[in-house]
Amino acid sequence: MAHQRAGQHRDSQLDVQLPDYARELLERSTLIIVSNRGPVEFHQTNDGEITTKRGTGGVITAMSAAARFADAVWVACAMTATDRVIAEKMRQRREALLTIPDLPGFRLRFVVPDTEAYHGYYNRIANPLLWFLQHYLWDTPRAPDIDHETWQAWHEGYVAVNRLFAEEVVAAAAAAPREPIVLLQDYHLYLTPTFIRELRPDLLLHHFVHIPWPDQDYWRLLPLPMRRAICEGLLANDIVGFQTPRHARSFLNTVDANLPEAEVDYRRREVTYRGHTTRVRVYPISIDPELVRAVAESEDACRHREHLEAFRNEYTIIRVDRAEPSKNVVRGFLAYDRLLEKHPELIGRVNFLAFLVPTRMEVAEYINYLDEINAVVGRINAKYANAAEIEGIHWEPVHLFVGDDYPRALAAMKFYDVLLVNAIFDGMNLVAKEGALLNERNGVLILSEGAGAYQQLGQWALTVSPTDIEGTAEALWQGLTMPAAERAWRAEQLRRHVVEHDLRRWLVDQLHDIADLYAERTPHRLIAPS
């Protein structure tokens, strides 16, 4: 989870020390950042005043940081009613670019699909169809059903909105004062590169996929025309980035299985398709430690910290997540319930604080999941309320904090004894990194094998298999009772790794590969990275 984060504190490490090739590249370029969600949403109060709210999510955090380095234009969907009103006024005034009050230096271009097209694109295809597929969430004997309505949402929603994005990117590139570099983000926009190429074959296109890329067999849940279009779309880029080597490898396998005409070079991680070569690379995303610390030290966070003191206990377990099926929140509570059953000596002595952000509330699967979370928490609290009464104490084993409050979540990360990250699958999981950075009690990280972060942090965490409730209960016990010296050593290794592999590194690695590509294409123009 990452929200309200970037831009609040702008004097961060990211502003210093770029390698020469990266600095030169940025000085010559206009970054065209393209994502479904933009850096801000506009809302209108009852008195007609227009307010801005920062967009939520890892994409926004990461790309807001990138935008600070360079001349940048952000192409994003008008998501709120007020976004649409503003976009319409801009259209009438023939203005394409909107400056953003609290993000000086970069500008926004809206893509404005009609509401039905947007619904098909976002609420039917991107979430849940692609999101569920890429996180292995489908209960396959029952879902997904690709019926007439799904196909309609594909053609009139996903394809149509991707085309609109491409048109806006091409317009942004034409108006760019410097050489454009197009940075596409995520699963909403898999087809956009195909449509951009039709209009501007010369543009440099870089696409980062923030979520897992599943095994090629699982992609067969999608009909062949859909998965071919997705592969072709990604291969219209010059570089495609993934979070982990495994995801990159799965992508190469998927291309191999679905586009027999493509030449896949596994050793060089390159694909040549219809005369165009795409490099497939790995860039594990991270956090900006300075920025995260600054929010965690903010007045707001300190106020929360004081308030949260009342919810701590001798042992405190926390989790911080979007309330989302891939995060596996319900099984986390079932494991906690099992821990209390196996270790009644913990009754009254341990609290589980869960900070959950509701998300995608237009999609039935998400609404149902939030209901399931509430139900399981209610059951556990009721069950142990009785047990506690017998012992003569007032104790609520689970405290649920629902809402989008990033400073509050960071405040809580400082004091956990155990942080539970048991996602079924996750592209990266930045909570694991934020916790490792901020915790002040040598807290233990319990980390799912399915999180991308596991490949970097797994060796210092307690490993859980996400479906293993019994194993997760055991890990919770081990985490709470681990000897102090071992806790301290693991916590130190985690912190060091996160600081050394920060968001700046994620950006610089991508700039390195882009500069490399430019240096090959136009060797006289740029310093080649070493």
Q: What are the residues binding ligand F6P (CB under 6 A)?
A: 37, 56-59, 127, 186, 210-211, 359-360, 427
Select 247 or 305, whichever has its Cβ closest to ligand F6P: 247
Closest distance of CB 166 from ligand F6P, Å? 19
Closest distance of CB 148 from ligand F6P, Å? 25
DSSP 3-state of 234: helix
The DSSP-derived string for 458-524 is GGGSEEE-TT-HHHHHHHHHHHHH--HHHHHHHHHHHHHHHHHS-HHHHHHHHHHHHHHHHHHHSTT
The one-letter amino acid code at 478 reads: Q
Place of tokens 């099992």: 338
Sorted by sequence, the CB contacts under 8 Å of residue 16 that are 6+ apart come out as: none
Select 59 or 503, whichever has its Cβ closest to ligand F6P: 59
Select 120 or 427, whichever has its Cβ closest to ligand F6P: 427
Residue 256's CB is within 10 A of a number of other CB atoms, namely 16
Tell me how many degrees the CA angle 97-100-102 measures, rounded to the nearest 5.
Answer: 165
Task: Find residue 43's DSSP bridge partners.
Answer: 51
Select 447 or 476, whichever has its Cβ closest to ligand F6P: 447
Closest distance of CB 359 from ligand F6P, Å? 5
* Distance, CA of 356 to CA of 50 (rounded, Å): 27
**What DSSP element (H or E) covers 424?**
none
* Distance, CA of 300 to CA of 57 (rounded, Å): 20
Closest distance of CB 37 from ligand F6P, Å? 4
Closest distance of CB 58 from ligand F6P, Å? 4
Select 127 or 250, whichever has its Cβ closest to ligand F6P: 127
Select 68 or 490, whichever has its Cβ closest to ligand F6P: 68
Closest residue by Cα to residue 326 from 158, 208, 450? 450
The DSSP-derived string for 329-358 is HHHHHHHHHHHHHH-GGGTTTEEEEEEEEE
Select 8 or 493, whichever has its Cβ closest to ligand F6P: 8
Closest distance of CB 289 from ligand F6P, Å? 19
Closest distance of CB 251 from ligand F6P, Å? 16
